[in-house]
Amino acid sequence: MTATTPDDPKTLVSTDWLAAHLKDPDLRIFDATWYLPDAGRDAENEYAAQHIPGARFFDIDDISDGRSELPHMAPPVEKFMSRMRAMGVGDGHQVVVYDGLGLFSAARVWWLFRLMGQKNIAVLDGGLPKWLAEGRPVTSDAPTIRDRHMTVKFEGHRVRDVTDVARAAKLGDHSIIDARAPARFRGEAPEPRPGMRSGHIPNAKNVFYKTLLNANGTMKPATALRTVFQDAGVDLQKPAITTCGSGVTAAVLALALERIGKTDHSLYDGSWSEWGMYADLPIATGA
């Protein structure tokens, strides 16, 4: 496995890179800010007040599978295609996605695009906070949008359901990596969603997503990322399944794995919102 370059339009790009390409005709930008329900912040209102010029707002909760009772599950292909067309994003475009926390929910949209077979998408390293700290331009103006066609090729190997994960936990043939905070992983802190049991999937390893980031919200270099995974006891020789509370920060792990050149990873979309809800599924506590 080899590390990717620092600016990689298929994984992660810097604010310098985005500033240099901001007026490229085939660039499309998404503000994919999403906050936990108890954060007391409104992502769409914040987008309306200020966003990177040209950015569209990507509503993770809306562009999801409305048939599922679980939060923001991956949408059907047809829904994804129609929403992207309406937002003017299609074949031949380079997409850059960011969020208002630095590097949090943007990775979820990166993973979703990859699930839909789209390769030319990158997360903005450090997100909107870094962009603002550097005095770069923002606007409240809505972008001009023209319909564009997108060809989607669903890559089912990038997502796992509860049956897949239960099998992997029992057989030990995958590295299951949980992005939640250590206290939640150990079962010492309550879950933010009502009705959830506390603990983690048996045989999972805990890599809190924030340990993959620098203090300014940017992602650590590839060598440091690899060390974080290894120090947490993750066997990088096995295929990986990432998980978290509801499939958002699990995508930060997926992005980090991609940055170190590990491509055999998938995401448990239901994550603890599903696993923690069913009493017949086993849980573990402690480290």
Active centre residues (catalytic): 244
CB 54 within 8 A of CB 27: yes
* The token pair that represents 140 in the structure block: 């409240």
Phi, psi of 176 (to 5 degrees): -90, 120
How far apart CA 168 and CA 235 sit, in angstroms, is: 14
CB 103 within 8 A of CB 244: no
Q: Which helix (H) or strand (E) holds 175?
A: strand 175-178
DSSP bridge pairs for 57: 31
How far apart CA 125 and CA 119 sit, in angstroms, is: 17
How far apart CA 18 and CA 152 sit, in angstroms, is: 25
